[in-house]
Each structure stands twice: as structure tokens, then as C-alpha cells.
Amino acid sequence: MHRLNVFVLGTRGVPGIQGGVEKHCEELYPILARSGCKVFVATRTPYVPREKRYKRWRGVNLIHVWCPRQRSLEAITHSLLALMVAKIKSTDILHIHSIGPALVTPVARLLGFNIVTTNHGPDYKRQKWGFLAKKILRIGEFLGIKFSDKVIVISKNIKESLEKKYGRKDLIFIPNGVRIVNYVSSSNILDDLNLIPRKYIFTACRFVPEKGLHDLISAYKSIKNPEFKLVIAGDADHETEYSRSLKKSVESSRNIVMTGFLSGSLLEELYANAGLFVLPSYYEGLPIALLEAMSYGLPVLVSDIPQHREINLPEFRYFPVKNVEKLAEKMIELIKKGISREEQESQLRILEDNYNWEIIAKKTLAVYESCLR
């Protein structure tokens, strides 16, 4: 039987590279490789250190494709170059992630590919983009919908919005997923950062305005003599005025810790020992960081945007987006409250029923097969 040959573009790369799309690909494609697919993932060389440019990783073939590390040019340049490689590889399915890389779908159609795109959300709503970039991303969204054989969306909210906007009724909802954590290896990171288990609030995300980190820092600073620290894991892909201002805003605070981007056991241990996970985003696709926090059995506090509401947490786990005063109030309340065994079990059921990578991989494979039929 012919092995399905799948070529993936639109991610910066795997493994251990910051970003929701990157985490999605890191979890999904090894499972599809185990299922019998021959998977090629095109990485962007500026994001993959030379010593980590593996040829194969967990059964996935990695193709390291050059692109300029320039925010406005890297996605389109990389996608066009990766298309040429995909043509050489006798690709059965070209799987494109995100609306920026989806700009190349008309070219992919001319080259005769069977195209599946995953729409991770309207990136033009992200505050980091200027007017022209937002226009181009809107075009990418349109072209991805128009020229793809199959379109996957990662949230029901995105599905409803795109169906209404473009009138295409065959969009396929397949969410992001998460692995349930059974064991966390021990490192010295808590000692190194002078942290006490359950005595810190934690978040992990990129330093971009729509994540609302400035609100989180302002809310924390407004608390008089807090009995807990604030730990922020992450960084900017490209240093900006915003990311510099965030770092500067915490320089004089002994109780706010910025770790930089972390992955693996260091990140796992920070998740596992947090007293509360907070995500104050203004906009999300479907946040894997939140699903990961839930998988560790953590109490969580998130903004009341539709993408967070979709996960169906108890009402007291939400606060009004952009409301710094309410955020501070809820942080004090919920780190003291912790989480009950019943709520932990409920969180795990939500994850197992709706965000299981094995099920997600089976659904994705079914999309590929239907695309070929």
C-alpha cells in the first residue's frame, strides 16, 4: 500500500520552537508518522540553531529551508521556496498552516498539489501588524479558503466567522490538543529563580501586545505587598518597542521574573509548581498554553474572549478582558482558592474528550484521505 506523502509548511520549525503553530506541528506530525504517513516538515533556518538541524525527529523528516529573518518577508519567501522542495518530494498532500503562508495556495494549485490548509485564526487582528501587512494577511485568508481542497479550523468561533464571511460550508473543525502530564522530571529551576511551589503566578506566551502581558504586569504591580511572585516565560520572535518596554517595566521589581523562552523539563517544572496560571489575552486562536496549564491540574484565570469561553471553564475562572483592576482582584482571590479535586478531574475530562492529540491525528488523516478521494 502506498504511504501517504505529506509536506508541511507554515511553521517556523520543530522541536522546541516558540509559538502555537509550532507546538501544534510538534505534537501532531510524529503521531501521523507513526500512523504510516511519510511526513516532511519545512523549517525556517533562522529559528533552528545549526546544532538542532536534525534530518529526522520522532519519525518526521525535517527540511531546513532558508528565509530572511524579516517579519514582513519571511513567511512568503519561505513558503515559495518550500513549495519547490515539495514538488521534488512527490507530495500527495500539501498541508499549509496559517493565513500568511496561505498566500501561496494559488501557486500550489497551479503546481497540481492536493492542498489542505489549517486556519489558526485571523492573524490580521494581531496588533503587531501594520496596515499593509494586515491587508496582505486578509488576502492570504481569502486565498486559503478559495484555493484549498480542504480547510481545517482550530476553533468553533473561527469556523462560524469564516463560514459567514466566505459562504464556504465544508470547513472542518479540528482543535489544538494537549498531552496529559503524568510525570514531571525535576530540575533546579525553582531554586535558580528563588521560587516556592504554589507561591507564584505563571504565564507562558510570546511578547506581543494581544497577549495582554502589560495588563498582567500592571495588575500585579497594583497589589500591595503580594505574597506571591509573577513568573513570565517567553520572549519576542523579533525584538520590538513593545517587547523592550515589557522587559524595562519589570527591571526594578524583585518579585516579577522573566525567564525568556523555555521548553522541555524547565518549562514543565514551572507549570507543575505554579499556584495559578493566567492568560489575559485580547485575541487567541485556541491557546495551547491554557490547555497545557489545565493538563497540569492548575487553577487558571483567563480573559473572557470567545476563544477562552469555548473551553467552557467555570464562570469564576474568567475576568473581563482589559480590566486590570478586576484582574488584580481575581489573582489574589484565585491563588488563595487553589483548585478542588473535582475541578481538576473536570478539566482533565474536558481535555481527554475534546483536545486529545491521538484523536486529532485520526481526524487530520481522514481529511487527507477525503482530499485524495
- 334 in the same domain as 240: yes
- 77 in the same domain as 43: yes
Sign of CA dihedral 6, 10, 13, 19: negative
Residue pair 223/253 in contact (Cβ under 8 Å)? The answer is no
Q: Which of 358, 283, 336, 317 is nearest to 123 (CA)?
A: 283
For 7-26, write each residue's pLDDT tens digit. Answer: 999 999 999 999 999 999 99
Residue 101, domain extent:
5-177+356-372
Q: What are phi and psi of 270, to 5 degrees?
A: -65, -40
Q: 258 in a domain, yes or no?
A: yes
Predicted confidence band of residue 2 (pLDDT cuts 50, 70, 90)? low
- 128 in the same domain as 80: yes
For 159-173, write each residue's pLDDT tens digit. Answer: 999 999 999 999 999
- 240 in the same domain as 129: no
Angle at 103 between CA 101 and CA 106, to 5 degrees: 125
Q: 183 in a domain, yes or no?
A: no
Task: Provide the pairing of β-strand 60-65 with 38-44.
Answer: parallel
CATH number of the domain within which 324 lies: 3.40.50.2000
Give the number of domains in the chain: 2
- 213 in the same domain as 123: no
- 136 in the same domain as 247: no
Largest CA distance in the chain: 66
Task: Provide the pairing of β-strand 60-65 with 56-57.
Answer: antiparallel
Residue pair 38/4 in contact (Cβ under 8 Å)? The answer is yes
Measured CA distances, 197 to 244, 274, 290, 336 (Å): 29, 6, 19, 13
Q: 184 in a domain, yes or no?
A: no
- 231 in the same domain as 95: no
- 297 in the same domain as 246: yes
Q: 61 in a domain, yes or no?
A: yes
Mean pLDDT for 152-162 is: 95
Q: 182 in a domain, yes or no?
A: no
**Angle between helix 213-221 and helix 241-249 axes, rounded to 10 deg:** 20
Q: 99 in a domain, yes or no?
A: yes
Mean pLDDT for 103-127 is: 95
Minimum mean pLDDT range among 123-132, 180-189, 287-296: 180-189
Q: 121 in a domain, yes or no?
A: yes
- 18 in the same domain as 103: yes
- 313 in the same domain as 171: no
For 282-321, write each residue's pLDDT tens digit. Answer: 999 899 999 999 999 999 999 999 999 999 999 999 999 9
Mean pLDDT for 181-189 is: 78
User: Taking the model in full, what pTM does it have?
Assistant: 0.91
The radius of gyration computed from the CA coordinates of the chain, to the nearest angstrom, equals: 20
pLDDT of residue 64: 97
More confident residue, 263 or 334: 334
Measured CA distances, 140 to 43, 93, 124, 373 (Å): 20, 19, 10, 26
Mean pLDDT for 346-353 is: 95
Measured CA distances, 344 to 31, 54, 295, 302, 347 (Å): 27, 38, 9, 16, 5
Q: 166 in a domain, yes or no?
A: yes
Average pLDDT, the chain: 95
- 202 in the same domain as 154: no
- 202 in the same domain as 93: no
pLDDT of residue 187: 76
For 226-250, write each residue's pLDDT tens digit. Answer: 999 999 999 998 899 999 999 999 9
